[in-house]
Structures are given as structure tokens and as C-alpha cells.
Amino acid sequence: MITKQQVEHVAKLARLNLTEEEKELYTEQLSKILDYIDQLNEVNTNGIEPMTQPIPTVNVMREDIVKRQFEREDMLKNAPHEEYGFFRVPKIGE
């Protein structure tokens, strides 16, 4: 069971200004959450493998194959400025 003082302490750490109604509400809600967690802790999970997805997923992406598609000279023809075989761009902050 969470106390109102614990909710006030957490609110202070989080720099939250809670009204009295909010403190009461959060005390009740957080207590219910912790009660539910206690209930889940009673479930026997021995022999159950951890999982990240309840449904198996399959990678449908293609295999990554490295291949050269364009020649450097062809790409640099589109560059407004080229220097030493690279795109030349303005310096940041100018």
C-alpha cells in the first residue's frame, strides 16, 4: 500500500505540484498498480522462456548485398561544387 506521504515525496522529487485531490487519486491508483504487481508475482513462471513478441515475427527484408551502382564521376556531374573527387559544401556556421 502506498501512502500519501510517499506520493508527496515522489512528487517533490519530480518537482510536481499536486493538489490534495491529485494526491488522494494517485495514492489510490499507485496502490492498485502495486497490488496487481503482487498478484502477478504469485504466478508460477518456471519453465517459461522470456519473449519480446507474443507472435513470432519474420524478417521480410532483402539480404544486404553491397554493389556499386554509380560511378563517382557521374555523381559529381550533379554537384554544384566539387573538390578532390568529393562534394564541396559550405562550412557550418558561415
pLDDT digits (tens, 9 = 90+) for 31-88: 999 999 999 999 999 998 888 888 888 888 888 888 878 888 888 888 888 888 888 8
Instruction: Single out the residue of 38, 47, 50, 41 nearest to residue 1, CA to CA.
Output: 38
State the pLDDT confidence band at 94, using cuts at 50, 70 and 90: low
Does any domain span residue 87? Answer: no
Domain interval for residue 22: 4-41
Q: Is the residue at 90 inside a domain?
A: no
pLDDT at 13: 97
CB-CB contact of 85 with 76 (8 Å): yes
- The CATH number of the domain holding residue 22 is 1.10.20
In a domain, 20, yes or no: yes
Q: How many domains does the chain have?
A: 1
- For residue 63, being part of any structural domain is answered with no
Residue 36 lies in a domain: yes
Residue 28 belongs to some domain of the structure:
yes
**Any domain includes 79:** no
- Note whether residue 25 is domain-resident: yes
